[in-house]
Each structure stands twice: as structure tokens, then as C-alpha cells.
Chains A and B, each alone.
Chain A
């Protein structure tokens, strides 16, 4: 809309010059009337969505646990926002219909999730989370998508003493603020590459190079990677940063080729993975291991790059093939099948993380036997559960330290979990073919 202003301004001005004032006024009134007519009586009523749980008869329950979530339905996080929402709704559907409601002190309580669209915008997210707390009076919050939005909204949750459990904001810095009400079921960005680096060190890797996009998440991943490389005794020969939406990485890869490291570690977005793999191939850069932050766990990359991507490693929060299992939803594969039935598509890890966040909250409420914030916070701190998503146990920061980050490797066109051992379904091939 913005760049169109200059284009639209001229003709617009020309067209209306002959329009009389009453007609213009009528146009404005018509527009306002259209907007008002389109609106219902109660904003919260329409915005309050129980998602897939809408068909549940709430009368069959002893009460309702009201949970709020501001998610990105529109804007740059629309896709991940949709996945997160489907993840939350999967839990809501399962808990209300299959599990029979949240069990609190002998009663059965329905789960209701109130959603708003944060438009992938920080101000809107802050406003909506404050509204969820004050106006909708939710008992708990589930997190938004992205580290940036979670950092801002978690401060509001903290200031209002409302618990926020989340699975899709993993930047380490938000857990260094001493918050008592923020819990993350996923692995923090700083530990994304940990299991891969430990596995590579065990197989004899001694040197590495890092290239990362200079935005919140990839930087946090790279800072953590450097820490883990050094801890594992692997020497970091070079660190290069590059801007968002980079189109050519050949300069970086040429420099790296001349350093001849054992491990290349890089990434930021999906397209970066394509650029790195292609540039390495074209420039004859052949490290023993390529560990790329985003992309390798996506089947699209395998389709796109075919043999070139073989042997490439990537971190993953969760895969349906992981050997995790729990009393709720069953195994990772069972969860994937349940999700597929509901939404007609396989779950990506953002969806699984969202479901796991809601499940952790659910288990803590049951353990606490009430929806009291202090009791549930204590229950979350002492929670120890094995789930389809992996083990869940929070440290004093609120981070789930029980679940290691998974590592996948593309082997003969298949995406296989190779680390950690508890989740692995295949052995790590090193050096890559």
C-alpha cells in the first residue's frame, strides 16, 4: 500500500475534482456504514474462538479453563502463526473430546482458547496480550510466534503475574531477565546445534567455520554454536555474518574453502540453505560436515537440491519419526497421525511445539489441582513428563532443559534423526559422502 501512494495520488485527485461535496460525504458515510455493519455487537465474542474444540458441549464439564493466545494470522509470521494455532487447537480438541477435559480436584474442566491476530506486529501483540489479561480475564497465556513478539509480550505477562507457556520463541536473552512466569518447552536457540556438535566431536571433527544471518534468531543460534564448539574442543577458524535476504554467498564460501575446516555451520532462512549448498558445490568446498540451521529438515530442500544435499545435517525441535512417547497423544508418530486427521497435513515442529506447550500447562494445572497462578507455577517448576515431544522439565529460567535438540541428516534423499541417541533412528554419516 505504501509504495502505491504516489501512483494513486494523481489519478485519484483528478477523478474526484468534479465530485460534489455531498457526494463525497455520502461516500465516506457509506464506507463507515459498511464497516460498522460488518461488525458484530461484541468484539470478544467473535474473536473468542475455541478452534477445533468448538463442537464440544461445555455443559458436560464442571467449568472452563480460559487460556489466551495472540498469534500471527496475518503479516510476516502468518504461516508459522497458523501452524502454532493448529498446534494449540490440536491440544484443545484432544483434551476436550478424547481426554475428557482437564482434571482438577475431581472435576472435569473444558479448555477454551481465546485467540487474537497480532498481525506479526509488536504493538498489536502487546495490546492484545494486555487485553487478554484484563478484558478477557484469561487464566493463562500461550505464547505467540517468534522471539521478538514473545520477548515483548512475556514482559506484560510477568508484570501482570500471568503464566505464559510457549514453544516458538527460543531466543536465549528472554530467559536471562529473571522472569518467573515464562516457560519454554522447546530448546533455546543457543542449544540448537549442541547435539550435532557433540556427535561430530565424538567422530573426530577438530575445526569449524560459522556463517549466520545477522537477525535475532540466527545470531542466537551462532553464539550458542560457538560456545558448544569451543566446549567440545573444536577450533572456530572464522565467523562471518550476512544480511537478511542475501542473494549470493560465494565470497563467504570461497574464504571458507581456503580455510579447509572439518565442519561448516551456517544458516538463517530456508533460502540460505539453498545458497550454501549450491555455492559449496560450485566452488569445490567440501567440508566433512555441513550443519545448516534452517532448511535440511524440510522435505522441499531435498526435492529441490536432490543429491547435492545428501549428508547435510540440520537441527530440529521435533520430527514425527523421533522415538519419543508419552501417556498423552502416545508416540510422536501417533501425534502426527492425530494431527494429520484433524488438519489434513503433517505437523511441522512449530505445531508440535505449540501442542507441547499447551500440554505442559495442562499437566501442571492437573498437578496443582487448581488454576491458581502460584500453585501452577510451582507445578510447572517441578514438572517431569515424557511426551510425544520428548521429555519436559523446566530449569529455574523456565527453559525445558530435559529435551535435547534433535539433529537430522539427509541420507539417500531421506530425512533421518541421527542425534541424540534417545531419539535417533539412524547413525550419523561422517564424513559426508
Chain B
């Protein structure tokens, strides 16, 4: 068993190194792409929208994948960021007369989303499982309606128009930098005690709480950060779209894409939402250009097939240590979370080994051990568990 496990781990490391190198090459290509003469604005806009999609999926994964709070209204922060920015920038004949410079307007727009996320998150994150999901869906719909009726500020149903400043290259680089920062943050987060505590909340929130983790504070903090970050993407989007109205800024599809992209890539992994959202976007591009009449149908069928066969996503094909939606919601043999929380509080582990679900692979013998002896097995399991957890971070 140990030799086998060791081989698998070495394979996992190799894969991680290769994956990292491929990622680096892709990043370099993306960085120099706008400088090539053949790159059109259309390509840059496509990539910018893809980066937006990736950014929102990575943010969604922070609460949905890591913390296990599946948010069905995440696009509300996108809309709030977009609207706050639009209100600050716009000079409407019958609307607000603020006229800020875009840079402070975008920053404040994101902050508004973050502050509201902190306020709403404190209330909704007391709910568990599908109840939280539905509460967030309700929040999304309610905020859209508030924006619709608050016409002196938001322009109501007519919306707000922004000056058409369409520098595709600038927005592309800004969003590329944001996504790189965000993914780096997620990668780093998984190696901190904070990140480990978030996973512990997903695995067993009550267990984590009894072990002294202030779950309310931590999950509200990550929820607020995700809200702020998605609000920032919304703020940038508003400026690029040059127009917001309630039905354009608050679209359900943005949440659906984030959920789908993350599930396709792998819930609760660092690379999953990036791969999933990019794959989803690329697939849509290809299908939409080639199957004019059937592209949505094809996309739907394709996603059903992928979710049926690969519930742990693309990353799950090579590393099955992420989570599936059924597990996050505790419908299907949720891993006993004592292991993660135990190690966090009892082992006094360094940041590098603290993260990751206990045992990772539910089907493997390691899982059975972690499950049956959450307390006593912790010490003996740490050496193997540490490696397994590190691998789960990829």
C-alpha cells in the first residue's frame, strides 16, 4: 500500500510540476499576445470576457468549493459592483450627476460590493446547505428589484450609460493581472491556517467550532472577500459594456457559469475553476460559432455528460481529492471532518500541511482510517496525510 501510494504521490507531483510549467507557458503567451500584430480587439475582448468568467468562478469557489457554502446568488456582487461604479461615473440627463474618474469609481464600486457582502453574509451564512443557496438566490432577485425601483439613484428600469472608453488592451491586462493575483491568493490561502479552517468548516462545521475555530468570522470574511473581488470584476465590466440596466447587470447566467465552470474543473481545488471556466467559455465559443441553432442544447448535453461521468471535475480526473456537489451538501458520504479540524487544532501543524480534506480519497483505505479514528489516528496519519493534503492543493 505504501509503495503504491508513494508512486501515486510521485506521479501527482510530476503532474503538478508539468501542470505548473504549462500554466506558466500559457501565462507568458497571454502576456505577450496583445503585443503581437495579428491580435485583434475581438480576440482581446473574448479573452477579457473569459478572464471575467474565470475570476467570478474562482471567487465562487472560495465560498462554494472551499467553505462548502454553495452560493446561488453570487452574481449579485457583480451587479452591485457594476452599478456602484456606473452611478459614480455617470452623468445622466435625468439621473445621478456624480461624474467620478473611472479608477476611484471602480475601486469604490468593488468596496461597496464587499461591504454589502459582509453585511448580507453575516445573516445568510447562518443558514446551511440548500437553505443558504436559496437565501442567496433570494438576495440576488431582491437586490435586482431594489435597483429597478430605486430610480433616482440607479436610473430604474432605464439604466445608466457610461462614456464609451473602450481600450481593449488595457482592460485585458488589468483583468489578466487580477486573475493571476486571485489564483495566487487562492493557492496561498490553501497553505494557511485560515484556508485549512475553511476546509474544516466544509468538512464538519460543528466539529470545527467545538475545536475553537470562530467559524462565523472566518466564513463571513471569505464571503466578503469573494463579494469584493467579484464586485471588482463587475465594476470593470460596467465600464467596458458602457451601459447597465437591472436585467443586464444582474443575470442569473453569471452565477450558473461560475457554478458550472467550477464543477467542470473541480470544486474546492485551486486550478479547477480556472480550467473549468476557461473550458466552458472555449466550448461555448466553438459551439456557438459552429452550431448556430443547436449550440445551447449541445452545451447542455455536454455538461450533463461531464457532470455525470466526472462529478469531481477535470482536476478530479488526475487527482480525486476535490469534492463533488453531493459531498459538499452532505448528500453522499460526507467525509468525517474531524480529521481536518483535529489536525488544525491538536497537531499544531505549520501552514504548509494544514490544508486539505482528511484522507482525500474516500474510496481509499486512508479514508476509512481517518473516518473511523478521527482523534486517535491523527498522529499516526500525519506523515502520509501531510503529503496527501499537499497534493490536494494542486
Complex: A23 Cα to B133 Cα, angstroms: 32
Complex: A214 Cα to B288 Cα, angstroms: 32
Are B308 and A134 in contact, CB atoms less than 8 angstroms apart? no
Are A1 and B300 in contact, CB atoms less than 8 angstroms apart? yes
Are B325 and A13 in contact, CB atoms less than 8 angstroms apart? yes
Query: Which of these binds chain B: A89-97, A121-129, A312-320, A368-376?
Result: A121-129
Are B256 and A35 in contact, CB atoms less than 8 angstroms apart? no
Complex: A266 Cα to B125 Cα, angstroms: 42
Are B151 and A152 in contact, CB atoms less than 8 angstroms apart? no
Query: Is A289 part of the contact surface with B, judged by Cβ < 8 Å?
Result: no
Complex: A223 Cα to B168 Cα, angstroms: 35
Chain A residue nearest in CB terms to B314: A28
Residues from chain A with Cβ under 8 Å of B85 in the complex:
none
Residues from chain A with Cβ under 8 Å of B145 in the complex:
243
Q: How near does chain A come to B197, taking the closest CB pair, in angstroms?
A: 25
Query: Is A155 part of the contact surface with B, judged by Cβ < 8 Å?
Result: yes
24 contacts between A and B (CB under 8 A): A5-B325, A12-B307, A13-B311, A13-B324, A24-B317, A25-B310, A27-B308, A28-B309, A30-B305, A39-B287, A39-B291, A46-B289, A126-B45, A126-B49, A130-B41, A134-B42, A158-B164, A159-B166, A173-B161, A214-B151, A215-B246, A216-B158, A241-B149, A243-B148
Query: Is B24 part of the contact surface with A, judged by Cβ < 8 Å?
Result: no
Are B296 and A35 in contact, CB atoms less than 8 angstroms apart? no
Query: Which of these binds chain B: A14-22, A105-113, A330-338?
Result: A14-22
Are A152 and B242 in contact, CB atoms less than 8 angstroms apart? yes
Identify the interface centre among B148, B157, B253, B255: most chain A CB within 10 Å of its CB: B157
Q: Which of B72, B156, B307 contacts A219 (CB 8 A)?
A: B156
Are A10 and B306 in contact, CB atoms less than 8 angstroms apart? no
Are B45 and A127 in contact, CB atoms less than 8 angstroms apart? yes
Are B252 and A2 in contact, CB atoms less than 8 angstroms apart? yes
Q: Known: A27-B309, A43-B289, A216-B157. Contact between A152 and B45, CB under 8 A? A: no
Residues from chain B with Cβ under 8 Å of A15 in the complex:
308
Q: Known: A9-B326, A14-B326. Contact between A126 and B241, CB under 8 A? A: yes
Chain A residue nearest in CB terms to B260: A1
Q: Which of A140-160 contact B (CB under 8 A)?
A: 148, 151-152, 155-156, 158-160
Are A27 and B310 in contact, CB atoms less than 8 angstroms apart? yes
Q: Known: A6-B130, A134-B42. Contact between A214 and B291, CB under 8 A? A: no
Residues from chain B with Cβ under 8 Å of A19 in the complex:
309
Query: Is A73 part of the contact surface with B, judged by Cβ < 8 Å?
Result: yes
Q: How near does chain A come to B315, taking the closest CB pair, in angstroms?
A: 12
Are B245 and A148 in contact, CB atoms less than 8 angstroms apart? yes
Residues from chain B with Cβ under 8 Å of A160 in the complex:
41
Residues from chain A with Cβ under 8 Å of B255 in the complex:
2
Are A73 and B309 in contact, CB atoms less than 8 angstroms apart? no
Are B311 and A12 in contact, CB atoms less than 8 angstroms apart? yes
Complex: A12 Cα to B325 Cα, angstroms: 10
Chain B residue nearest in CB terms to A46: B290
How many A residues touch B, CB cutoff 8 Å? 77
Are B148 and A214 in contact, CB atoms less than 8 angstroms apart? yes
Query: Is B320 part of the contact surface with A, judged by Cβ < 8 Å?
Result: yes
Q: How near does chain B come to A43, taking the closest CB pair, in angstroms?
A: 3
Q: Which of B313-350 contact A (CB under 8 A)?
A: 314, 317, 320, 324-327, 329, 331-332
Are B247 and A215 in contact, CB atoms less than 8 angstroms apart? yes
Query: Is B283 part of the contact surface with A, judged by Cβ < 8 Å?
Result: yes
Query: Is A342 part of the contact surface with B, judged by Cβ < 8 Å?
Result: no
Having A43-B290, A133-B42, one finds 4 other A-B pairs with CB under 8 Å, namely A12-B307, A35-B283, A115-B292, A215-B148
Q: Which of A1, A21, A122, A179 contacts B248 (CB 8 A)?
A: A122
Identify the interface centre among B49, B248, B286, B303: most chain A CB within 10 Å of its CB: B248
Are A23 and B309 in contact, CB atoms less than 8 angstroms apart? yes
Query: Is A31 part of the contact surface with B, judged by Cβ < 8 Å?
Result: yes
Complex: A119 Cα to B310 Cα, angstroms: 28
Residues from chain B with Cβ under 8 Å of A298 in the complex:
none
Q: B-contacting residues of A (Cβ < 8 Å)?
A: 1-2, 5-6, 8-10, 12-17, 19, 21, 23-28, 30-32, 34-36, 38-40, 43-44, 46-47, 49, 73-74, 115-117, 119, 121-124, 126-127, 130-131, 133-135, 148, 151-152, 155-156, 158-160, 171, 173-174, 176-177, 179, 213-216, 218-220, 223, 241, 243-244
Chain B residue nearest in CB terms to A160: B41
Query: Is B368 part of the contact surface with A, judged by Cβ < 8 Å?
Result: no
Query: Is B226 part of the contact surface with A, judged by Cβ < 8 Å?
Result: no
Closest 8 CB pairs of A and B: A27-B309, A13-B326, A43-B289, A134-B40, A134-B42, A215-B157, A155-B164, A155-B242
Query: Is B390 part of the contact surface with A, judged by Cβ < 8 Å?
Result: no
Residues from chain A with Cβ under 8 Å of B291 in the complex:
38-39
Complex: A74 Cα to B326 Cα, angstroms: 31
Q: Known: A27-B305, A219-B156. Contact between A5 and B259, CB under 8 A? A: yes
Complex: A12 Cα to B46 Cα, angstroms: 33
Residues from chain A with Cβ under 8 Å of B288 in the complex:
116-117, 119, 124
Q: Which of A26, A35, A44 contacts B289 (CB 8 A)?
A: A44
Are A214 and B311 in contact, CB atoms less than 8 angstroms apart? no
Are A10 and B326 in contact, CB atoms less than 8 angstroms apart? yes
Are B320 and A21 in contact, CB atoms less than 8 angstroms apart? yes
Q: Which of A39, A133, A151 contacts B286 (CB 8 A)?
A: A39
Chain A residue nearest in CB terms to B253: A121
Q: Which of A43, A152, A243 contacts B241 (CB 8 A)?
A: A152
Are A35 and B287 in contact, CB atoms less than 8 angstroms apart? yes
Residues from chain A with Cβ under 8 Å of B94 in the complex:
223
Q: How near does chain A come to B62, taking the closest CB pair, in angstroms?
A: 18
Q: How near does chain B come to A39, taking the closest CB pair, in angstroms?
A: 4
Residues from chain B with Cβ under 8 Å of A220 in the complex:
158
Residues from chain A with Cβ under 8 Å of B159 in the complex:
148, 151, 173, 216
Complex: A315 Cα to B295 Cα, angstroms: 37
Are A122 and B241 in contact, CB atoms less than 8 angstroms apart? yes
Chain A residue nearest in CB terms to B53: A123
Q: Which of A9, A49, A121 contacts B292 (CB 8 A)?
A: A49
Are A6 and B329 in contact, CB atoms less than 8 angstroms apart? yes
